[in-house]
A and B are shown apart, each in its own frame.
Chain A
Amino acid sequence: MKISVMALVASVGMAASAVAAEIAPTAVTYTDGAVEQSLTGVAGNPEEGAKIIGSKKLGNCVACHQVTALADVPWQGGIGPVLDGAGDRWSEAELRGIVANAKMMFEGTMMPAFYKDTGFIRPGKAFTGEAADDTLGPLLSAQQVEDVVAYLATLKD
């Protein structure tokens, strides 16, 4: 019953305020690359965050980063820094900024922006090779970004 109760709480919360409070990708305020304000007003779920980080179909963060705590996820890449201890190195606001658009903190970084929906060169419709249409949204939803940030905050040395 825990799940349905949580779902109920979540849906009530969404209906009440979160949808209205959700910050659009173009409206996010970055301060030195960090984003203070939650994108949804709803606390992130670290368990969901872990799934997003490991899933090829979602964040696929492990394509480039290693996370020792997620050792059961195969083939973790070696492009970006290891994420172990990320919760010690960065504040929640910094983590949110890095996940949403790392280029705001690290100029020229290879890391894709996960909460951005404009300003691309020849954007495509997912992985089809066709041109994007008006359904183009950010790579992760606002809540998914919050979930990832919540998980990263748990990574302590």
Chain B
Amino acid sequence: MNMLTRGLATGMMALFAASGAMAEAADDNLVINGEIEIVTRTEAPAHLSDTMDEIMSGWLFRGEETRAMEADDFDNPGMIFVEQGEEAWNTAEGSEGKSCADCHGASSEMAGVRPVYPKYVEAAGEVRTLEMQVNDCRENRMGAEKWDYTGGEMVNMVALLSSVSRGLPVNVAIDGPAQSTWEKGKEIYYTRFGQLELSCANCHEDNYGNMIRADHLSQGQINGFPTYRLKNNKLNAVQSRFKGCVRDTRAETFKPGSPEFVALELYVGSRGNGLSVEGPSVRN
């Protein structure tokens, strides 16, 4: 894009922002700490070929200052919670007196795990999220209490596991034994819930880029979770966000950790196959 068209595009964006109707996704690149290159825009995975050409991280739909916060770990408030997760990683707990590190080694050894979850776990005979696996370890390997599915300790741990995979492409399997769960998630994605009769797709597939009141609708990608939201000043679990979205359709929500939300997380995760893991990201 030459300077003239870039200037024109910027001017048009300002115009749209002023009218409050529409705002383009940013034309920007994310490199964290000057070294981790993040794919925030890429070709849509094959299963979306009838729906969209390009998938985009929610990072591109946020303002310049918010985007900048994620580019440097010192500015990213989510990284404080990663540190807390790291502490928990190395702390022995439960009747077995084991820490995560005792079996898994350094947290950095877990690079590559986040991008493939949720996934079908053979030993469990079901699709599991990272949270479910963490709690399985706590209960059955450590002899420790389970954590609340979206509680602070769990979110910190998932943030740690995401942070060591930053820059790696999301690569959730949708075939084989995961397929039936994926289909169920897809059905939920397109179901118009609640008194407002809104599906995920109404906003995040049909209207990303448009403004809904003061909110700039993104594609609803989840590669950036857990997400530090400036709105509530904390790290938010992906299924807490699902719950908030469903609630806002004036619907009876599903519970975090429920089979419905596990299926939805698999499906929505797969819509981001190819984007980089970004968690903990910074959003509005």
Contacts and interface: CB of A to CB of B under 8 A. Distances in A.
> What is the size category of the interface that chain B forms with chain A?
20 to 34
A64 B226 CA distance: 28
Nearest to B255: A129
Contacts, number: 93
A122 interface: yes
Given A66-B19, A66-B21, A139-B195, A78 B252 contact: no
Contacts of B19: 66, 76, 78
Interface stretch (A13-21, A39-47, A55-63): A55-63
Interface in B175-215: 191-198, 202, 206-207, 210-214
Given A120-B194, A122-B251, A129-B243, A79 B20 contact: no
A69 interface: no
Contact of B195 (A60, A124, A130): A124
B252 A132 contact: yes
Contact of A75 (B197, B213, B248): B213
A80 to B, nearest CB: 10
Contact of A113 (B197, B246, B251, B253): B197
8 contacts: A75-B213, A77-B20, A120-B193, A121-B191, A121-B193, A124-B247, A124-B252, A127-B247
Given A76-B211, A123-B194, 11 more contacts: A76-B19, A76-B20, A76-B213, A77-B212, A78-B16, A79-B212, A123-B251, A124-B195, A124-B247, A124-B250, A124-B253
Interface of A: 56, 60, 62-64, 66, 74-79, 110, 112-113, 120-132, 136, 139
